[in-house]
Amino acid sequence: MAASLSAQIATMASDLYREQVKGRVVDWDVPEQASGQQEMRNEPQVGGIYVRLFLKDPKFPLRNPKRFLEGLLDQYLTSIAASQYDGQAVDTELPLLLSAALVSLLRVYPALADHVGYLGYVPKLVSAVAHGASRETMASETYVSEDGSSQQNSQTPQERVRLSCLRVLHQLAGSTTCAEAMAATSVGTPQVVPLLMKAIGWQGGSILALETLKRVVVAGNRARDALVAQGLKVGLVEVLLGLLDWRAGGRNGLCSQMNWNESEAAIGRVLAIEVLHAFATEGAYCTKVRDILSASDVWNAYKDQRHDLFLPSNAQTSAAGVAGLIESSSSRLTYALTAPPTQHSQARSPTTVTSDSNGMQG
């Protein structure tokens, strides 16, 4: 756009110069169709802020962050509603752009998450994730290609939009106010824990869903017992134990059906363990959860191990969480467990230290 504007200004300046050379008096004014005007008119903006420019520098100080947040949420929910019709071509660019702006804004201004909870947007976002869910199983759908290898189906536009909404919920789950709002249910409103359990099987959504579960079931959440009850009702504890079961290999093992790579599998197991620990924390249903866990050989093998070494070293303090660090392709992850020294460095003899009679080392 800048190059186009520069080229058009150069053209107008050249035309004006030629008219002046001819001795004519030129009453010049900016044309009605100025350079880039139509392009900028179609550029998404919220409250006078161009969304793409904001994403280039989310830390740029905003005059009214709350107003920008409310505008983003309103436009995002509207764009989601427009993308949920299967009978027409879906343009996912706008909802994905707005969701990226929402997540970036909430990471820079974490206190704004409470504002989202107070305004009642959380149930709308939960409903948006649940609407039109087409996958009924935990495992991601796969097909066998001509060469016999197993391939994962590409996401539909609706699935990409739904996943973007899950990212927003994941970011909001760090707020106790929003976590409590997720637990509040009414007639016709989907429950968040069964929805997140189902999202564990979505392509690209497993780590997001697991960490969102971990965030909402925290000790400070006054509605925590209601969330644990939802999990017990749908068998979430058994599902997470199934993900941890190293003995359930082959086609019947849940973990083998997740299409995780080695890093995702390790992180997914860590998050599953942390969710189970959170469910077993003191509360109205802790006895029932502990009974299920104590009867599991899988849990007895995992419960006393330290698993945070498999997470990025700043995962616990980062506002983006584990999922955000994984998705950021530009960031280099530093893991808490460093690589062992190479064989060459181990074989190298230590440097000898000698001292003379004056105590000087050489």
Q: Judging by beta carbons within 10 Å of its beta carbon (0-12, 13-18, 19+), is residue 319 exposed, middle or buried?
A: middle
- Which pLDDT does position 58 carry in this prediction? 92
The pLDDT value given to residue 313: 53
Determine contact, residues 166/210, Cβ cutoff 8 Å. no
Dist CA 196 CA 209 (whole Å): 5
Domain 43-138+154-328 matching CATH 3.40.50: the answer reads no
Share of the chain above pLDDT 90, in %: 35
To the question of pTM greater than 0.85 for the whole model, the response is: no
**Residue 84 has which token pair?**
């949920």
CB-based contact 77:124 (threshold 8 Å): yes
Q: Nearest to residue 177, comparing CAs of 128, 220, 130, 129?
A: 220
- Average pLDDT on 62-82 reads 92
- Which token pair is 26? 């030129």
Instruction: Tell me which long-range contacts 243-251 makes (C-beta under 8 A, separation of at least 24).
Output: 243/200, 243/268, 243/269, 243/272, 244/269, 244/272, 244/273, 244/298, 244/299, 244/302, 245/298, 246/298, 247/298
Residue whose C-alpha is closest to residue 100's, from 58, 156, 42, 61? 58
Q: pLDDT tens-digit profile of 310-353?
A: 555 555 555 556 555 545 543 433 333 333 444 444 444 444 34
Q: What's the pLDDT tens digit per position in 2-52?
A: 666 677 788 888 888 887 788 777 776 666 655 555 555 678 888 889 999
- Going from N- to C-terminal start, the domains of the chain cover 43-138+154-328
Predicted local distance difference test score (pLDDT) of residue 335: 32
What pLDDT was estimated at residue 25?
74
Query: 227-264 pLDDT, tens per residue?
Result: 999 999 999 999 999 888 877 554 445 666 677 777 77
Of 20-34, 45-59, 105-119, 201-215, the one with minimum mean pLDDT is 20-34
